[in-house]
Structure 1
Amino acid sequence: MSNTTPTSLRVVQGVAAHEGVDPMDLEPPLHEVIDTDALDVLYRKADALSVRIEFTYRENHVRIDESGHVDVTDATADRGSSTAVE
């Protein structure tokens, strides 16, 4: 995946990969949980900002660092198992 892939799409792909499901099967859709347009805008402008976001989606802890790297771990676990999306 390239850095031109919207952050919201990388989150969906990361969560789906972590859960071993098709991204289209994720319920509720990510846009019902967070403002995906705002997320994408934040990381398009991230070169001028220091933005780090963490939230829970489908019992997964999603962490997005300053570079837009997406890391998905189990929210209920010790976070030892993770799936990263560049």
Structure 2
Amino acid sequence: MAHANELPLVIAERIAEREDLTSIDLHPPLYESIDTDALESLLESSDGAVSVSFTYQGYTVHVDGTGSVRLSDPPTGEPQTKAEA
């Protein structure tokens, strides 16, 4: 489980690991795809009963109020990420 202020890094690292990339190779970066400050604030202010799901790099990212991060794989045959050459 990640603390709210660590979530963006944890999410990026988990997706990068699945894609055999580093988190800096993910384009666009997570902070350009979602409001990471809003995600952190929402989870910090919750009593643990909140959950958030969003799509990033083809994965559905599920985060709950405890800071648990779960990824759902993209549908088969769908491009996942694009690393900048």
TM-score for both structures, normalised by structure 2? 0.74
Query: For residue 25 of structure 1, what is the aligned residue in structure 2?
Result: 25
Question: Which residue of 1 is the match for residue 72 of structure 2?
Answer: 73
Larger Rg: 2
Structure 1 residue 49: Cα displacement = 4.9
2:79: which partner in 1? none
CA RMSD in angstroms, aligned pairs only: 2.0
Q: Deviations over 1:8-42 (max 9, x none)?
A: 11111121122221001000011111101111112
Residues 41/65 of structure 1: CA separation in 2 closer, same or farther (3 Å cut) = same
Where does the alignment leave 5 or more consecutive residues of structure 2 unmatched?
77-85
How does the TM-score come out when normalised to structure 1?
0.73
CA distance in 2, matches of 1:25, 1:49: 32
| Structure 2 partner of 1:43 | 43
Name the CA distance, whole Å, in 2 between partners of 1:42 and 1:76.
28
1:59 aligned onto 2:58: yes
> Which residue in 1 is equivalent to 2:80?
none
Q: Is the 8 A contact 1:63 1:71 kept in 2?
A: yes
Q: Percent identity?
A: 34
Unaligned runs of 5+ in 1: 78-86
